[in-house]
Chain A
């Protein structure tokens, strides 16, 4: 075992996959000589050369389309969006080309789009967004969002080896803030499987990404008041692990869905709908969503802190739900 940060885990996953498989390569803005805005590819240019670590023109649609074309002829490209926010420029290529290739004409498109997302870094409206909701409604895409260094590595390796287009949401706030012990040897975390981040019996908190840590903090405080929270870390957002979601609902009968993404039409809306559709008889109260308000991400610290769900918001929502 060894201790790595979330960012080191991402870097290791790419490095190991590039060493293992010559069809894996990285492209994006400033990923080459500079090693990427967040240094995720630092040293790669020297190790793999300019044709496997490609600095691209500032043109997200262009290089995402190029990744798709390379994938169609046998490569496994990793696209780095410098900030997840810029993925909107590549929306058409991802939604209309990558996501539909296999369904329309049977052509697999094994690309990974790494999307550094999320707030709490004072990035404002264009460097803080959660983008998973934009793509959640697109059959043919897969979306993953690791919350730990262990999962960051295992899910990225699984995404690289997967034959479908995968949007890999890596939370910027976690890059250097969390560490995990991970095995020395090769491992993957399968796409489509949630995990129990904390076992509990009174209430289920279903969440993913950086909010897993927010939920853990809230759960610790609630434990002192005698409330036992079960935390489900979805890990994969598309397709959702329905089995794990239904299992925890049937166990605790009370559900809170938590995410940093804005509330309306978000992942939480779908999770809530699934539960009420398939587990209504197991519910002891309404499903409550704790999510960001429906505004762009504000810049000023006071406003940003209010925008991003905090442990205190989770605690008060749990208290409300426990009264049912």
Chain B
């Protein structure tokens, strides 16, 4: 698949934006400014940027918690996301939710519950609606390797397969579910085998190669959009931090991290761009300084934003509140 130069540069921009935003979040966490935990997609950014960027404007993304790139490429601003981390009223959820629990229907993004793979059936339902209404829209739903052991993963995929719905299931296989390695999660080598049980064609891609992720997603979306039903894409990658910032990930062998460090998705993309797309590093540096500025502005916006009031916490339980509520 030929990818346009401007798309390649946008992919690079979003990779950098995701990395810099989450690196900044990590620093803020260690400064005690982030409430609760801080989960990042460090080292696996190519997955969410890639599948997110391949979607069309009217499609739906149902990401999971290591999919910061998907939120950004769908158009949810770094400002609102930073404010979300700081629990501010200007955050995506107005302080009702924290960190990566982000969703906004204006940008076609479903918020995810912490119960992994719940978004597989939910995404399937949106795809069902598109098929019922004859709309040429698709859904991308993503979960981690651990999430593929839950019933909802299987129930969602089975329903989508039976009804041949326009949804693409993505797995960010980053080798560890919190501390549990893949070998204790499943007795098979590739997560993709799980999809075959439902008659869903699957594809295994290098999750650290954004061109591969983007291309596989784009092709799968086109199949789904044209009535060909779901595809499962396993993106093999490696979580380069602990489960969240409080976790030192001592249980991960050092050699494994060293090996994957060499395959960093951003360095990968820089190399690709220099070999195929651009003439010199200047253009990349230009993108990077744009990203830096955007993150600085986002942080300043978040810091200056007001906190919600205790009373705000009592609002919004119901879309149609009755008299008594």
Contacts and interface: CB of A to CB of B under 8 A. Distances in A.
A62 B319 contact: no
B199 to A, nearest CB: 12
Given A92-B118, A93-B118, A105-B93, A69 B322 contact: no
Contact of B97 (A57, A67, A68, A105): A105
B43 interface: no
Interface string B284-320: 0000000000000000000000000000000011111
B115 A69 contact: no
Interface residues of B, number: 48
A75 B132 contact: yes
B121 interface: yes
B322 A107 contact: no
B68 to A, nearest CB: 16
Interface string A67-105: 111111111010000000000000011001100111111
Given A102-B316, A104-B111, A73 B129 contact: yes
A110 B97 CA distance: 21
Interface stretch (A114-122, A238-246, A280-288): A238-246
Contact of A57 (B102, B125, B162, B318): B162
A212 to B, nearest CB: 21
A85 to B, nearest CB: 18
B245 to A, nearest CB: 22
B103 A62 contact: no
Contacts of A230: none
B122 A65 contact: yes
Contact of A62 (B130, B131, B152): B152
A59 interface: yes
A93 B159 CA distance: 15
B101 A139 contact: no
Contacts of B155: 57, 59, 61-63, 65
A163 B97 CA distance: 21
Of B110, B129, B132, B156, which is in contact with the most chain A CB atoms at under 10 Å from its CB? Answer: B129
Contacts of B324: 192, 239-243
A70 B316 CA distance: 21
A222 interface: no
A11 interface: no
A67 to B, nearest CB: 6
A103 B317 contact: yes
Given A104-B101, A106-B316, A51 B323 contact: no
Contacts of B126: 69-70, 72-73
Interface string A121-140: 00000000000000000011
B45 to A, nearest CB: 23
A73 B114 CA distance: 21
Nearest to A69: B125
B103 A104 contact: yes
Contact of B125 (A72, A101, A241, A242): A72
Contacts of A65: 118, 120-122, 124-125, 152, 155-156
Contacts of B120: 65
A191 interface: yes
B159 A56 contact: yes
Given A102-B317, A104-B101, A70 B129 contact: yes
Given A65-B156, A96-B113, A105-B111, A192 B121 contact: no
B122 A66 contact: yes
B185 interface: no
B132 A69 contact: no
B122 A104 contact: no
Contacts of B228: none
A79 to B, nearest CB: 10
Given A61-B121, A73-B129, A105-B96, A163 B319 contact: yes
A140 B316 CA distance: 9
Of A25, A51, A77, which is in contact with the most chain B CB atoms at under 10 Å from its CB? Answer: A51
A72 B110 contact: yes
Interface string B13-25: 0000000000000
B111 to A, nearest CB: 4
B162 A92 contact: no
A61 B129 contact: no
B323 to A, nearest CB: 7
B224 interface: no
Interface string B112-153: 011100101111111111111000000100000000000110
B244 to A, nearest CB: 19
Contact of A97 (B60, B105, B118): B118
Contact of A101 (B60, B111, B325): B111
Contact of B159 (A51, A66, A191): A66
Of A73, A104, A140, which is in contact with the most chain B CB atoms at under 10 Å from its CB? Answer: A73
11 contacts: A59-B159, A61-B155, A66-B128, A71-B125, A77-B125, A92-B118, A93-B121, A104-B103, A105-B101, A140-B318, A241-B324
Nearest first, the 8 closest Cβ-Cβ pairs linking A and B are A69-B125, A65-B121, A62-B155, A66-B125, A192-B322, A108-B319, A163-B319, A69-B122
